[in-house]
Amino acid sequence: MTHYIYLVRHGEHQDAEHGLVDGPLSPRGIRQAEHIADRLSGLPLDTVWHSPLLRAAETARAIAERLPAVDPMPSALLFDCVPTGMTEDTPAAYEPFFGSISDAEIEAGRAQMADAVNEFLQRKQGEVHEVLITHNFVIAWFVREVLGAPDWRWMTLNQANCGLTVIAQKPGRPWSLLTHNDLGHLPMELRTGMPDPIPA
């Protein structure tokens, strides 16, 4: 019996192009959410968790509309956050990113993700199918955790809007990464949200 977690980045939101932190889904984001809902609709989902931010809550609502037996629930452990600062091993190219992030924000993000890993990466009994609708950095941290990669490597793992990442654990085995940022359910014109690469 396998425990599956389906990690989904929220759909594109209307205020993204204006640099605002949150906002409702854009028309394109609504379509993205509908497509990921269709992708997940054949699964025997037990739970759908989502970040309390509006863009994640509206993505969860789109899934619930197609899966009426599912009642999405917010979790503060899935808020957008920055889980680490610069480390000795972090490439210098990432320094500008951290220039606008306070030590308090990093400490809060580190604590949040430690609690999130303890909460969600605990093996549950039987066959389990959970969806977590959250943010780019949060998904990157989960993938980094599953792969046992150095802390700073979350920065190299990016997710598109409504991309699908799947991790799973069989009894007696470690967590495994089954797929990362799968966009097969999205038409090309709906593939958005990948951060710009850091210049070399």
> What fold does the segment set 3-128+136-190 form as a domain?
Rossmann fold (3.40.50)
In this prediction, residue 63 carries a pLDDT of 87
Share of the chain above pLDDT 70, in %: 94
In this prediction, residue 179 carries a pLDDT of 97
Identity of the amino acid at 16: A
Q: How many CB atoms lie within 10 A of CB 144?
A: 21
**In this predicted model, what pLDDT tens digit does every residue of 154-199 receive, in sequence order?**
999 999 999 999 999 999 999 999 999 999 999 999 999 887 655 4
> DSSP per residue over 42-68, as a string?
TS---EEEE-SSHHHHHHHHHHHHH-T
In this prediction, residue 100 carries a pLDDT of 87
| CA dihedral for 91, 94, 96, 98, sign (positive or negative) | negative
Which regions in the chain score pLDDT beneath 70? 15-21, 196-200
pTM here?
A: 0.93
Domain range summary for the chain, segments of one domain joined by +: 3-128+136-190
Q: How many CB atoms lie within 10 A of CB 10?
A: 31
